[in-house]
Amino acid sequence: MLTHIHIWNFAIVEKLDLALDAGMTVLTGETGAGKSILLDALGLALGDRADSNVIRHGAEKAEISVTFDTRKAPAAEKWLREHELESEQECIIRRIISNKGASRAFINGKPCPVTLLRELGEMLVDLHGQHEHHSLLRREIQQQLLDNYAGHPSLLTAVAQAYSQWQSLNKDMQELEQARSERASRLELLRYQVGELESLNLAEGEADELDAEHKRLANARQILQSSDQILNRLEENEQAAVLTLLNQSLSDLHELAAMDSALAGAAELLDSAGIQINEAVSELRHYRDNLALDPQRLAEIEERLGGITDLSRKHQVSAAELPALLSRLQEELSTLEQADIRAGRLQEDIEQARTEYLARARKLTQSREKAARKLARQISERMQQLGMEDGRFEITLSPRGDGTFSKQGQEQAEFMVSANPGQPLKPLNKVASGGELSRISLAIQVISADVSLSPTLIFDEVDVGIGGRVAEIVGRQLRELGNQQQVICVTHLPQVAALGHQHLQVNKQAGANHTSSEIRKLSEAERIDEIARMLGGVKITEQTLNHAQEMIEDAQV
């Protein structure tokens, strides 16, 4: 619900800081005092088009900040989470308009486009009257309200699930049909490519192994020559072999170590080096003895590597990726070859999904029809209580225009109304009178209060053209609605104002050089004076004051 509204330099309001409570709040004041300013400011905060003309004369900018408690607005809290704007069950919306025409908007301190203000605003506030935030004029909201009243969430879920299954299968069929249309040429290409790759028969890792073997065989002659040279230097050269010189040095070092034990460590290290050189010589000789020139094997490897390289270039993949490519092409080939069988099975699945969808949608239609009759009857009765004695309300359920399935079912709901005798039923959004529209909306909201989509309801011009008994009925229904939701009502009727849980008064002060407007919460004594003013006009008598007090006291009954 709306908990605070702060206004700076907006229209004729210089500064306003107003706290709002739950229940029914009435807003009254003299004609021309500026009762609509609060609603205009709220509308601007919720995404109405900005105009620099709303800035107070002499100021550089206007600013409106509104705070909402979102604990009873689950749709708004979910929206805030999805947009990463949540702030612990509270939402602060701020709008700034400069005299240069620029507008800035913030949600919980983060800059955002005005379109997001509108989206969020429709989840937080429903303005009833001639106002663009009046969500009941939208057919999707009408259907949502009917579904909420009907209380069939399981049916809605079942229809949505059946629709998703049917849609998914149809998408698969479309993809399959598209593949089949290109099937002949694609099959020919796939069979040729798979044949080439299967003939190559390249194993995982084989290309790397062939590269290593090719490098060894291609350089075998040089490896043999170098190996012989190394072995000659290490032990076969009778005069300068490394091992011969090492053994001589080791013999000399042992003799020296016998003279000085400090050389024992060096002797051990030299001895260890000799052992390692001997092992290296043994390993190198073994390698040389087993390495042979094999030009035939080298030619075979070069031929196979050539085939691998050709296919790699052809398919624009590395040699290592060829086995995986073969697997993918074989899978695609199998899918295309089985396309006719799969299409038949898929068509059976689609027909089954269609039958399931229609069965679930039919149950949803029946539930909507039953709820529509009951809701229309109750709203018609309320309309007649609200001064529209021959008022009629109906809910039509018409097939969707395009004839296709949808996740919401097979029909669209539309609210139809006739406010006066002899008038045909017309869509709710075609009702001309703002007062009639507000009273019809009030009837709808009172009946559907338990499933209302907005935690805060604002009624403007709800009492236009009524008075006496009907005015009191309007007030009592607003108060009844205020017991479940936050209701803010702009009124000029004392019968309605006396029934509010809280009372706000708008006053306008005109000075020599400026005019300003203020809104303040009235005490119980001040409420009596204000109701008396609304009852008695210019001259307020003791009898008028007593009547005003009696009206307020009667409201508590």
Per-residue burial over 521-531, b = 16 or more CB atoms within 10 Å of its CB, e = otherwise: ebeeeebbbbb
How far CA 126 is from CA of 95, 113, 131, 514, in Å, comes to 19, 21, 10, 33
- Which of the four pLDDT bands, split at 50, 70 and 90, describes residue 502? very high
Per-residue burial over 338-362, b = 16 or more CB atoms within 10 Å of its CB, e = otherwise: ebeebbeebeebbeebbebbeebbe
Q: Which of 12, 9, 99 is nearest to 52 (CA)?
A: 99
pLDDT at 311 over 50: yes
Please report whether residue 262 resides in a domain.
Answer: yes
Residue 395 β-bridge partners: 415
| Between 141 and 436, residue with greater pLDDT | 141
Please report whether residue 239 resides in a domain.
Answer: yes
pLDDT at 284: 83
d(Cα 396, Cα 517) in Å, to the nearest integer? Answer: 45
Please report whether residue 315 resides in a domain.
Answer: yes
DSSP state letter for 48 = P
Please report whether residue 276 resides in a domain.
Answer: yes
pLDDT at 130 over 60: no
Task: State the CB neighbour count (10 A cutoff) for residue 277.
Answer: 15
Please report whether residue 240 resides in a domain.
Answer: yes
38, 66 in Cβ contact below 8 A? no
Please report whether residue 232 resides in a domain.
Answer: yes
- Which of the four pLDDT bands, split at 50, 70 and 90, describes residue 444? confident
- Which of the four pLDDT bands, split at 50, 70 and 90, describes residue 2? very high
Beta-sheet pairing, 103-107 with 61-69: unpaired
pLDDT at 531: 92
Mean pLDDT of the chain: 85
pLDDT at 274 over 90: no
pLDDT at 39: 85
As given in the structure block, the two tokens for residue 311 are: 């296919």
H-run or E-run covering 342: helix 339-385
Please report whether residue 356 resides in a domain.
Answer: no
Ramachandran sector of residue 168 (left: φ over 0; alpha: ψ -120 to 50; beta: rest): alpha
Name residues whose C-beta falls within 8 Å of residue 209's C-beta, 6 or more positions apart in sequence: none
Task: State the CB neighbour count (10 A cutoff) for residue 402.
Answer: 7
| Between 454 and 152, residue with greater pLDDT | 152
pLDDT at 57 over 60: yes
Which domain covers residue 223, as residue numbers? 184-337
pLDDT at 371 over 50: yes
pLDDT at 132: 44
Please report whether residue 114 resides in a domain.
Answer: no
- Which of the four pLDDT bands, split at 50, 70 and 90, describes residue 32? low
pLDDT at 69: 93
- Tell me the one-letter amino acid at 300: E
SS3 state at 87? coil
pLDDT at 511: 63
Question: How many folded domains does the chain comprise?
Answer: 1
Q: Which of 551, 556, 557 is nearest to 498 (CA)?
A: 551
Beta-sheet pairing, 24-29 with 61-69: unpaired
pLDDT at 95 over 70: yes
Averaged over 447-457, what is the pLDDT? 75
Residue 95 β-bridge partners: 64, 105
- Window from 39-48, 246-255, 395-404, 446-455 with minimum mean pLDDT: 446-455
For the chain, what percent of residues have pLDDT higher than 70?
Answer: 91
pLDDT at 432 over 80: no
pLDDT at 403: 62
As given in the structure block, the two tokens for residue 213 are: 């073997």
Dihedral of alpha carbons 356, 360, 361, 366, sign: positive
* 471-489 per-position pLDDT tens digit: 888 888 889 888 888 999 8
* 513-557 per-position pLDDT tens digit: 667 778 889 999 999 999 998 887 667 888 899 999 999 888 876
